[in-house]
């Protein structure tokens, strides 16, 4: 699990099932991750000088020399096969029947299904080998593109929803299609835009990404677990991507390295100058195409003010996470 290279992770957000099971917990996500657990250690500015001199990192925050114990957890292995995936589809999208589903692909990466109106592919649902479900509504995409072209070509008036309305619509959709696990919160939101020939700007889509905390700590990583939903300005869900790995049981308790040690390690292994704005302990969620069996502690080093870009260092043995 320990790698030899640095990865700058840009979060876009995604959702998953565990075994492949879906959480049905009715928890309303907060708009931040302020429920993350903090240790009671005193904070000290990291030592600079001698072998511990920081050369490549600028710190806009403080670090601690203290260590503390954290739990590790085992994760249930998702079972991604045609039968289980169809069961999930029938549960979340009951209008998908065997008559209009065609299997798109089955390989070591995952499995996919298409729905057609007889002429065009209208919807696609795929599952990665790690358990993430990706739903794409191609009809909603084409519908919005057609309306956008009409708006641009003839200045027709089309009623469009606001970002706030898109967010409420997203929450309603999610509750009907798997819901949120405990500890969920809105991690990131984005409005993509389109510039018209006359220079005006039209909102093209609204995207909302959710993550969760467990035992008070953030779970995040390299395109790992989470939920992403994109809505068109016409109010149609275009993309729904979800992975919540199923946490099985406590594996053990381990002592983590201090954030000071992690910063020193990071500095010795980066070849570029970076600025760290925030440091946080949490759990690493591996790439959604990988089958992850354990939830282990890591240090997150945030490199931007929006806290969506970060570097990850293993908090136990000190090393970069693949």
- The span from the CA of 45 to the CA of 48, in Å, is 9
Return the structure tokens found at 104.
């798109």
Residue 212: closest CA among 227, 231, 228, 190: 227
- Segment 123-144, tens digit of pLDDT: 999 999 999 999 999 999 999 9
Handedness of CA 46, 47, 50, 54 (dihedral sign): positive
How confident is the model at residue 42, as a pLDDT? 33
224 in the same domain as 92: yes
What's the CATH code of the domain at 265? 2.40.128
Cα 8 to the center of its chain, rounded Å: 14
By the 8 A CB rule, do 27 and 184 touch?
Answer: yes
18 within domain boundaries: no
How confident is the model at residue 88, as a pLDDT? 92
Compute CA distances 105 → 61, 90, 208, whole Å.
Answer: 47, 18, 28
Domain that holds residue 36: 2-12+31-76+248-321
How confident is the model at residue 317, as a pLDDT? 77
17 within domain boundaries: no
First to last CA, the chain: 7
192 in the same domain as 55: no
By the 8 A CB rule, do 236 and 229 touch?
Answer: no
Residue 6: closest CA among 301, 289, 259: 301
Mean pLDDT in order along the chain per 10 residues (322 residues): 34 31 38 41 33 72 87 92 90 77 72 86 91 95 89 77 97 95 93 83 93 93 88 96 94 91 85 85 91 92 75 78 47
Burial class (CB in 10 A: 0-12, 13-18, 19+), 309: middle
What residues form DSSP beta bridges with 70?
254
By the 8 A CB rule, do 9 and 303 touch?
Answer: no
Stated pTM of the model: 0.80
207 in the same domain as 135: yes
Number of domains in the chain: 2
How confident is the model at residue 240, as a pLDDT? 97
Residue 21: closest CA among 94, 90, 78, 99: 78
Cα 44 to the center of its chain, rounded Å: 31
21 within domain boundaries: no
Domain end marker among 222, 246, 270: 246
């Amino acid at each position: 699990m320990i790698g030899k290279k640095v990865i700058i992770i840009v979060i876009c957000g995604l959702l998953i099932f565990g075994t492949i099971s879906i959480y049905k917990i009715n928890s309303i996500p907060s708009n931040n991750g302020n429920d993350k657990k903090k240790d009671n250690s005193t904070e000290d500015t990291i030592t600079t000088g001698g072998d511990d001199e920081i050369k490549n990192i600028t710190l806009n925050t403080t670090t601690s020399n203290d260590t503390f114990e954290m739990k590790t957890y085992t994760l249930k292995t998702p079972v991604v096969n045609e039968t289980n995936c169809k069961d999930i589809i029938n549960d979340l999208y009951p209008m998908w029947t065997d008559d209009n589903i065609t299997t798109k692909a089955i390989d070591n990466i995952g499995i996919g299904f298409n729905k057609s109106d007889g002429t065009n592919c209208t919807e696609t649902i795929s599952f990665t080998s790690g358990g993430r479900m990706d739903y794409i509504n191609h009809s909603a995409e084409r519908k919005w593109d057609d309306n956008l072209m009409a708006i641009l070509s003839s200045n027709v008036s089309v009623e469009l929803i606001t970002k706030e309305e898109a967010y409420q619509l997203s929450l309603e959709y999610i509750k009907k299609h798997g819901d949120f696990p405990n500890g969920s919160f809105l991690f990131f939101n984005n409005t993509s835009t389109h510039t018209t020939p006359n220079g005006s700007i039209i909102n093209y889509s609204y995207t909302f990404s959710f993550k969760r905390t467990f035992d008070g700590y953030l779970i995040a990583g390299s395109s790992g677990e989470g939920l992403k939903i994109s809505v068109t300005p016409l109010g149609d869900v275009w993309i729904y991507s979800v992975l919540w790995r199923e946490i099985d049981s406590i594996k053990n308790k381990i002592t983590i390295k201090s954030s000071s040690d992690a910063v020193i390690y990071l500095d010795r292994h980066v070849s570029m100058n970076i600025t760290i704005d925030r440091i946080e302990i949490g759990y690493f969620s591996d790439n959604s195409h990988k089958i992850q069996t354990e939830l282990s502690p890591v240090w997150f080093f945030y490199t931007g003010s929006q806290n969506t870009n970060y570097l990850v260092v293993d908090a136990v043995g000190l090393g970069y996470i693949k």
